Amino acid sequence: MISIACLKPGARPLCSGLAGLFIVLACAPLAAQPYPARPLRIVLPYGPGGNSDIIARVVAQHMSQRLGQQVIVDNRPGAGGIIATEIARKAEPDGYTLLWLNTGHAVSASLYKSLPYDPVRDFVPVSTIGFSGLALVVNASSPVRGVKELVSTAKARPDRFNIGVTFVGSTNHLAAELFKSLAGLEVQVVPFKTTPALIAGVTSGESQAVVEFLPPVLPFVRSGALRALGVTSERRSANLPDVPTLAEAGLPGFEASAWNGLAVPVKTPGEVIAKLNGETRGIVAMPAVRQRLRDLDADARASTPEEFRRILVADIEKWRRVIDRAKIERR
């Protein structure tokens, strides 16, 4: 221990210098460790096994390799994504807790009367990762072979035509309502509880058309049991390159995609956001990652934080207009 006498006036310079050094080292805060210095987690609003979970784990694996720290996918399903989103919102804004931000957040912001969070104000988007389209599908035995023919058929007998979707408020439900609006249809949209029930509904003739994500219907399209008339995304699907987008098929301006990406709590330091954005963009650009997303019928596409924020804000407004027009009861 350094003697107190060393700090008194007249003490030898060497002793004084040592004492001063001791005081500086004892009192100064430890230098900040470079980010990241410990494991990260991605809070996911879905359970294990689904497309979002698979994509998130692909991203987490490569991010862990690039950052030199473990990146954990923390599955927190339930309450329409509120549970996971609240966990991320309440986390320290230090870049160690990320939220899997997706279309569901834009839909919820439009569908719920009130939420304990605001996806725009409470989070800073980092980067998009992938965009997934849906397909407008009919039974292969249907005489309808194109979107324009489907519209004319539905207008001729609206009482005998319905479009099947999964549960009310889902992305495919809102995409079907958007299709109705832009096509000028007055047909019923029928919700099914599960995707298998939805596919059974169109194959049995209970529904004359359905709107559903591509992965579960793709095997039926390829086997010839179902016919895809169009996809809802901005671009054609790489897995169905001969199927036009709905915009190409006669509904200019139609676009309905399910996107996903990463976000962090507001007040996260800008340099941390920039680091995460750069790493995410690097991961999304990897050929192996792009192919894995393509296998899941997702278009790998990164963005800047500002571009991602614009997508989020625009989708909230788009789905709000669709919900108002369709008179869907807010929860």
pLDDT in tens, the chain (331 residues): 434 344 444 444 544 454 444 444 444 444 467 999 999 999 999 999 888 999 999 999 999 999 999 999 999 998 889 999 999 999 999 999 999 999 999 999 999 989 999 999 999 999 999 999 999 999 999 999 999 999 999 999 999 999 999 888 889 999 999 999 999 999 999 999 889 999 999 999 999 999 999 988 999 999 999 999 999 999 999 999 999 999 999 899 999 999 999 999 999 999 999 999 999 999 999 999 999 999 998 999 999 999 999 999 999 999 999 999 988 888 8
What's the rounded Cα separation, in Å, for the pair 87 and 103? 18
277 and 309, same structural domain? yes
Q: Is this prediction's pTM over 0.75?
A: yes
Task: Say which residue the tokens 């039926």 belong to.
Answer: 220
The DSSP symbol for 194 reads S
262 and 119, same structural domain? yes
> Alpha carbon of 68 to those of 36, 198, 290: distances in Å?
8, 44, 22
Q: Is residue 250 part of a domain?
A: no
CB 211 within 8 A of CB 136: yes
Q: Is residue 11 part of a domain?
A: no
219 and 175, same structural domain? yes
- Could you tell me where the DSSP H helices lie in 224-304? 270-284, 287-295
143 and 106, same structural domain? no
The DSSP symbol for 123 reads E
Confidence (pLDDT) at 168: 85
> Alpha carbon of 125 to those of 26, 128, 262: distances in Å?
39, 8, 6
201 and 62, same structural domain? no
278 and 138, same structural domain? no
Confidence (pLDDT) at 193: 87
137 and 123, same structural domain? no
CB 128 within 8 A of CB 302: yes
Q: Is residue 3 part of a domain?
A: no
Distance of CA 38 to the CA centre of its chain: 25
Q: Is residue 183 part of a domain?
A: yes
264 and 122, same structural domain? yes
Q: Is residue 29 part of a domain?
A: no
CB 131 within 8 A of CB 237: no
Q: Of 260, 256, 258, whose CA–CA distance to 99 is shortest?
A: 260
What CATH number is attached to the domain comprising 145?
3.40.190.10
Q: Is residue 12 part of a domain?
A: no
Parent domain of 284: 40-132+257-326
What CATH number is attached to the domain comprising 71?
3.40.190.150
182 and 161, same structural domain? yes
Q: Is residue 31 part of a domain?
A: no
225 and 201, same structural domain? yes
CB 75 within 8 A of CB 133: no
User: Which helix (H) or strand (E) covers residue 131, if one does?
Assistant: strand 123-139
Confidence (pLDDT) at 32: 62
Q: Is residue 13 part of a domain?
A: no
Confidence (pLDDT) at 15: 45
264 and 125, same structural domain? yes
Q: Which residues contact 53 (CB under 8 A, 6 or more apart)?
A: 44, 46, 47, 73, 75
Confidence (pLDDT) at 5: 40
Angle between helices 51-67 and 270-284 (to 10 degrees): 110
Task: Say which residue the tokens 């460790």 belong to.
Answer: 33
* Residue 191 three-state SS: strand
What's the rounded Cα separation, in Å, for the pair 261 and 257? 13
Question: Into how many domains does the chain fold?
Answer: 2
Going by DSSP bridges, is the β-strand pair 188-191/40-44 parallel, antiparallel, or unpaired?
Answer: unpaired
118 and 74, same structural domain? yes
